[in-house]
Amino acid sequence: MSGGWFITGTDTGVGKTRVACLLLEALAREGKRAIGMKPVASGCRETAAGLRSEDAERLQAASGVAVDYAEVNPYAFAPGTAPHLAAHESGKEIRNEKILESFQRLRQKAPWMVVEGIGGWMVPLAEHLTMADVARAMRLPVILVVGLRLGCLNHALLTATAIQHDGVPLAGWVANQIDPAMTHVDENIAALNERIPAPLLASFHYWSSGDYGALAPVFPRETIMHLTSLK
């Protein structure tokens, strides 16, 4: 079998890259070759090899196949702002055709793809292009990362509704706690689980990059088996 998923989130900074990398690592443990992709990234740093996104580099490193950075991240911008503004400031225009060309080349190198969007579902990329348009064109089911913090219920339900409205399959959602001080975490997860018309794939409590060993999160094996069995 082959396929993949488009990873979107309730906002920027909610853990899309974290979840995408955990998914790639879990696929690798099951012996499934997969490639991570970040079509558009802003706030990139200058390097000798050109602009680089830390998120895209993490996806590239977690991929089970060696691929060129330019394919993983076809649009990299230095300004750390909304992608359409970063593109305008950089004198470029984001084109879906270029993104899809890179996507198709990567698909030929591995049976599974994990594509991470930028920001949330409806983030503008160009005058007549949003992140949702890219996801629709890729024909991948969506995994929604919900950043658990105050206000996440509204953000999550609005995003899930928008995904459904756009006619894209919602494969499931991930609860990712990003506020260590958030109260009633389990109750919020339960409320979302009752209202989002897709299964809860994983739940990650707050975890900082300084925590190692047994504290590190892992994508549940049963979730991977479920996702990869879907047609």
Span 127-154, pLDDT tens digits: 999 999 999 999 999 999 999 999 999 9
Per-residue pLDDT at 206 exceeds 90:
no
Per-residue pLDDT at 214 exceeds 50:
no
**Residues 76 and 94 sit within 8 Å (Cβ to Cβ):** no
- Give the pLDDT band of residue 219 (cuts 50, 70, 90): confident
- Report which residue type is found at 218: V
The domain ranges of the chain are 3-229
Hey, which bits of 87-141 come out as E strands? 112-116, 124-126, 129-130
Terminus-to-terminus CA distance in the chain, angstroms?
Answer: 8
Please report the sign of the dihedral spanned by the C-alpha atoms of residue 119, residue 22, residue 140, residue 34: positive
Average pLDDT over residues 213-222: 71
Which architecture, in CATH terms, is 3-229? 3-Layer(aba) Sandwich (3.40)
**Would you name the residues annotated as active-site residues?**
38
pLDDT in tens, 64-95: 999 999 999 999 999 999 999 999 999 999 99
